[in-house]
A and B are shown apart, each in its own frame.
Chain A
């Protein structure tokens, strides 16, 4: 492709990207998810501990996560988010929850698995629970098996004492329902088909693989109980968060304005170009945040705001790198036209290296760190990505395009010395 065509294409793409971004993120208030530290609510980090003291494995974490989900459902918190963090911890966020005390009390107990009698069925078809027949500690294991027809069943084994009582229970209840209950929520209510005397029990049904796995995990919480420990808890009042957000946004805007003034004073026309590239940068950045928000992958936290303020600096940095290189080559005697091409290529190379080094540390931070710092690392990475896109698709093409027209006629307007228009 001809360089000129490429330039026109790049600038066209930028215009479309900016318009697209604005459509995506406007109005900001509703398009970018606010994190819990801004909206208010309860955020806790729990670590799982097996009460038997064995090492934390994937299976233990599955059980812990299940217990947490189960309890969060019971609290009826909407928009709750439950995420694994690191090897042994789970982050639970309950935005806008009214009664934090109740939630804390519910989250902080060991999972309790029971097998209970079903006395009747209520109007909605849900079982009404009777006595506790067995507690989960008599279960020694659970596994999934497939029969010849490909139907899944969940197999449960009981300990010696448990098997004896299980035999009595099932003998007395053939044809009736029993319920498998975790933390007071019914997980499954199978009908007893026949007396089970050996302790080996198969629970059948039209399970999907996910359902079977869930039931297996539920039963395992009985065999290998998991207790959850609070490691970090934040109960955020909504007023404080809003206040910090207002201050953070104010700081970002003031910072941006001052950077703009400085750039224009120092670089004149080139400064205006830098400012427009900051505008493009900001648009793309917010567009990406809005897209991530809509998938639930991003929520703006206070450290995230700090990350944004910082990336404004990084974006300006790259822009200055180009301006300086350009001025320098013109001062060294190159024509504006040829300096526009060579200087932007060189400067983008330098800035790519410098940005990649920063990206490396942001990426490591994102992978390794726990808690709020990750939000910071994420915004930093997005910022670096946008910076590179803006330089390649906008700053270089626009300097080359203007280098062939306006700058040749009015070099002083762009604070360019030497070079000379027609040379």
Chain B
């Protein structure tokens, strides 16, 4: 092939350093800073208000305190609305109290969305989410093992866990709230991460059938280069809608888009920088490919 090829697998050390640093930062942030969980996990109230009259944060806060909320946290949104978080979790009381707030601020009662979450509920939501996460990892391991081979399935899942730890680390660093939408985003990132990895592995599998005159490593590197344009283009086309969502999607969809944007970058990188090198190192230990390596190491 006359085309210029990038020696990705020759830069194993560089990738190891990049991933190592990112993982260390992420794990550091997770242990030092910790994740801040949204009220969906802790229990409490979130009230989103769209205001058609200009209001000051202090005014809104005062109205909430007057209505009996203990420690309301008021945040303004870009479109002139407010997000108020409080620890009260009885929907009956909270909605009545919000009626008072709306009246005091001269707002329509319908201008607010009131979400309350019971204190025990967060635990069951978290458990369900964790269960979903674990079950899908197993289902994926099984699928890739049956369709390809177990070494691919384990390296693919390794890359996946790498991606998820880094995304969570960025959440910890940025101090964004983890919400159920974040969980949905994480599962989607899993999907993307695997999609990229599977495409690369698919090509390696195809090329390894006719592998005689080169080492496994150089064949694998050739495979990555063959699908590189696809990898870049699909990442761009997937990123475009998500980034648009990040900027124009409104407050509710924004945290979802944030997780996805970060996740897409990381998962594109990890299919080349994490999954492929580990898989190749592992395969090179097989006698068949060790023999090839001995024979063609100089030539390639």
Contacts and interface: CB of A to CB of B under 8 A. Distances in A.
Contact of B241 (A37, A233, A259): A259
A244 B140 CA distance: 34
B42 interface: no
A266 interface: yes
Interface stretch (B54-62, B87-95, B274-282, B286-294): B87-95
A368 B132 contact: yes
Given A101-B99, A364-B136, A255 B245 contact: yes
Interface string A368-382: 111111001100100
Interface residues of A, number: 82
A368 B128 contact: yes
B117 A248 contact: no
A247 B248 contact: yes
Interface in B185-206: 187-188, 190-192, 194-195, 198-199, 202-203, 206
A324 to B, nearest CB: 4
A266 B234 CA distance: 12
B24 interface: no
A47 B198 CA distance: 41
A232 B194 CA distance: 33
A96 to B, nearest CB: 11
Interface residues of B, number: 79
A45 interface: yes
Given A232-B115, A328-B226, A373-B181, A248 B132 contact: no
A302 B179 CA distance: 14
A238 B109 CA distance: 10
B238 interface: yes
Given A310-B260, A364-B135, A373 B116 contact: no
Given A86-B128, A350-B199, A306 B256 contact: yes
Contact of B132 (A255, A354, A364, A380): A364
A368 B136 CA distance: 10
A232 B50 contact: no
A205 interface: no
Interface string B193-234: 011001100110010000000000000000000110110011
B288 to A, nearest CB: 24
A404 to B, nearest CB: 25
Contacts of B253: 244, 247-248, 251, 302, 305-306
Contacts of B183: 369, 373
Given A303-B181, A361-B136, A354 B198 contact: yes
B230 A250 contact: no
A325 B233 CA distance: 13
Given A320-B230, A357-B144, A313 B242 contact: yes
A174 to B, nearest CB: 44
Contacts of A314: 195, 238
B238 A361 contact: no
A351 B199 CA distance: 7
A349 B70 CA distance: 58
B298 interface: no
Interface in B113-168: 113-118, 120-121, 124-125, 128-129, 131-132, 135-136, 139-140, 143-144, 147
Contacts of B115: 232-235
A240 B81 CA distance: 10
A391 to B, nearest CB: 14
B116 A313 contact: no
Given A231-B120, A237-B112, A251-B248, A353 B198 contact: yes
B252 interface: yes
B195 A317 contact: yes
Nearest to A85: B128
Given A306-B256, A321-B199, A244 B250 contact: yes
A324 B227 contact: yes
Contacts of B135: 364, 368
Nearest to A302: B252
Contact of B194 (A251, A313, A358, A371): A358
B184 interface: yes
B19 interface: no
Contacts of B116: 230, 232-233
A258 B227 CA distance: 23
A189 to B, nearest CB: 32
A309 B245 contact: yes
Contacts of A358: 191-192, 194-195
A101 B125 contact: no
A336 B221 CA distance: 27
B272 interface: no
Nearest to B185: A306
Contact of A238 (B110, B143, B233, B248): B110
A47 B260 CA distance: 32
B257 interface: yes
Given A248-B253, A255-B241, A373 B113 contact: no
A104 interface: yes
A75 to B, nearest CB: 14
B250 A247 contact: yes
B18 interface: no
A108 B143 contact: no
B6 interface: no
A264 B174 CA distance: 37
Interface of A: 37, 40, 44-45, 47, 86, 89, 100-101, 104-105, 108, 229-241, 243-244, 247-248, 250-252, 254-256, 258-259, 262-263, 266, 302-303, 305-306, 309-310, 312-314, 316-317, 320-321, 324-325, 328, 332, 346, 349-351, 353-358, 360-362, 364-365, 367-373, 376-377, 380
Nearest 9 CB-CB pairings of A with B:
A255-B241, A313-B238, A233-B91, A358-B191, A247-B250, A231-B121, A368-B132, A237-B110, A316-B237
Given A251-B244, A251-B253, 11 more contacts: A37-B113, A104-B91, A243-B250, A244-B250, A244-B252, A362-B191, A368-B128, A368-B129, A368-B135, A369-B128, A376-B184
30 contacts: A47-B121, A89-B124, A108-B91, A108-B92, A231-B118, A232-B117, A234-B114, A234-B115, A235-B112, A237-B50, A237-B108, A240-B81, A240-B113, A247-B253, A251-B253, A255-B245, A263-B237, A313-B239, A313-B240, A320-B234, A324-B227, A324-B229, A350-B198, A350-B202, A357-B144, A360-B143, A361-B194, A365-B136, A365-B187, A367-B132
